[in-house]
Amino acid sequence: MITVIRGARIVTQDASRRIIEGDVVVKDERIISAGPVFKGSADTEIDASGDIVMPGLINTHTHVAMSVMKGMADDLRFPDFLDRVFAIDRDRTDNDIAIGTKLGCAEMIRSGTTTFVDLYYSEDVIAKATEEAGIRGILCWCVLDEQFTTQKGNPLDNCRRFCGSHKKMRKSRPGVGLQGVYVCSEDTCKGAKRLSDELKVPLHFHLSETRSEVNEHKRKTGRRPAEWLNDIGVLSERSIAAHSAWLTMNEVRTMGKTGMSIASCPVSNMKLATGGVAPIPELTENSVNVSLGTDGSTTNNSLDMFSEMKILGLLQKSSRWDASVTNAQTLLDIATVNGAGAIGMGKDLGSIEPGKYADIIILDGKAPNLRPLLPENTISNIVYSANALNVKTVICQGDIVMKDRKIKTLNERKVIDASEGVQRVLRGNI
């Protein structure tokens, strides 16, 4: 199957960060050329004249099934927010988790995300819904101490079973999750790390999201969370730490030595007023791979990575009184190539190059908010001017999942209608 995207401005995100004019040719799942005009015949041709073709965005921290909970825990102080969300989580069913996943995937498709990292329970249900949606999930089953969980059975055993039964999915991949040091003992953390090492899958966890989390852990252990996790051997190149907003420079340096990644979630942190700003320049300077996440729909209300990318940059600039930090190219890197590196798929994702999976999005280059459009301002326009409404077409691993703004994989209307009923039931249970 040959698919050709014709006449595009291609933001390759390759090692030279080239922007080139021409065609992108996809054979089955992978890109075979980018730039030269393709003169052969194709099974599918997409006219992208005047449009921007770029890699699909990679969201490295979310809870996709919580999309049906949007607006149920807004404007609450953090402890009250947690109480509300945990109360809702206790009563969730497989059906509403599936509907929430499909709703979240539809939102991500419409906003140009082709890969997301999830941290939740019931990842088997989420995996099925994600495969139906046609995008890629790195699905990390949530592990925590049994005394704190609503899962049936031991969470680490549940995670092991999920990883074993779902290791051969076409697009999605299993992973190991840790809720956070506040509900995970040393034995639980070490067990999760052993499983991640054994299966060679990502280990994803919340880290230093709030000042109280850090202070309480230091009171109990004498160490800050990142220091403690490193001391017990949990941090490694497969680690993806969400938030990482309350860090010392000693922790930053320690994290850098492990080769790990973070998933910064600026909107979530600001909406929950947890304070702290992830030290992005210092993390980068110390070899921590910085990626970007939206968090879930209760803490952000949006899964739009274009919005998240821009806000990450604005927060860094504003908090430092320095407009030069986290420039547009850096922000686009964070949302693409860095995200691919965080999930261990840098050889397959994050850029438009021969041999990589065809994870490609097309932006409407004729939209007023993206004009004037010149090679010199293309990256800035993507980062600071683009939004989800500019996304026309989305391809994931060679499959066209949205074309000309029509999602092809899901009955979007049916999913939306079902989500209303799900939230009414959830509201009735609290």
On the question of pLDDT at 150 being above 90, the answer is no
* Band (323; pLDDT cuts 50, 70, 90): very high
SS3 262: strand
Q: Are 224 and 253 in contact (CB under 8 A)?
A: no
On the question of pLDDT at 403 being above 90, the answer is yes
On the question of pLDDT at 87 being above 90, the answer is no
- Phi, psi torsion values for 6, nearest 5 degrees: -100, 140
Q: Residue range 22-51: average pLDDT?
A: 96
Q: Residue range 405-416: average pLDDT?
A: 98
pTM: 0.97
On the question of pLDDT at 160 being above 90, the answer is yes
Q: What is the pLDDT of residue 410?
A: 98
Concatenating the DSSP letter of every residue in 173-219 gives EEEEEE--TTS--HHHHHHHHHHHHHHT--EEEEES-SHHHHHHHHH
Please report, for the chain, the start and end positions of each structural domain, with discontinuous segments joined by +: 2-55+350-406, 57-342
On the question of pLDDT at 233 being above 80, the answer is yes
Q: What is the pLDDT of residue 86?
A: 87
* Band (245; pLDDT cuts 50, 70, 90): very high
What are 196-220's pLDDT values in tens digits? 999 999 999 999 999 999 999 999 9
| 259-to-7, 30, 168, 184, 240 alpha-carbon distances in Å | 39, 28, 27, 23, 10
What are 309-318's pLDDT values in tens digits? 999 999 999 9
Q: What is the pLDDT of residue 234?
A: 98
On the question of pLDDT at 99 being above 80, the answer is yes
Q: What is the pLDDT of residue 91?
A: 82
Q: What is the pLDDT of residue 180?
A: 96
Q: Residue range 399-406: average pLDDT?
A: 98
Sign of the dihedral defined by the CA atoms of residues 264, 266, 269, 271, in that order: negative
Q: Residue range 78-93: average pLDDT?
A: 89
Q: How many CB atoms lie within 10 A of CB 414?
A: 11
Rounded distance, CA 25 to CA 35, Å?
Answer: 9
Q: Residue range 96-113: average pLDDT?
A: 98
CATH number at 2-55+350-406: 2.30.40.10
Locate 114 and state its tokens. 């082709």
Domain topology for 57-342: TIM Barrel (3.20.20)
| 358-to-136, 333, 361 alpha-carbon distances in Å | 12, 18, 9
Q: Residue range 365-376: average pLDDT?
A: 97
Q: Residue range 340-348: average pLDDT?
A: 98
H helix intervals, 321-389: 328-335, 337-342, 378-380
Q: Are 152 and 187 in contact (CB under 8 A)?
A: no
Q: Is 319 left (phi over 0), alpha (psi -120 to 50) or beta?
A: alpha
Q: How many CB atoms lie within 10 A of CB 427?
A: 12
Q: What does pLDDT average to over the chain?
A: 97
**What are the DSSP E strand ranges found in 304-412?**
360-363, 391-396, 399-403, 406-407
Share of the chain above pLDDT 90, in %: 95
Q: What is the pLDDT of residue 259?
A: 97
On the question of pLDDT at 417 being above 90, the answer is yes
- Alpha carbon of residue 238 to chain centroid: 15
Q: What is the pLDDT of residue 89?
A: 84
On the question of pLDDT at 430 being above 80, the answer is no
- Phi, psi torsion values for 62, nearest 5 degrees: -155, 175
Rounded distance, CA 147 to CA 427, Å?
Answer: 26
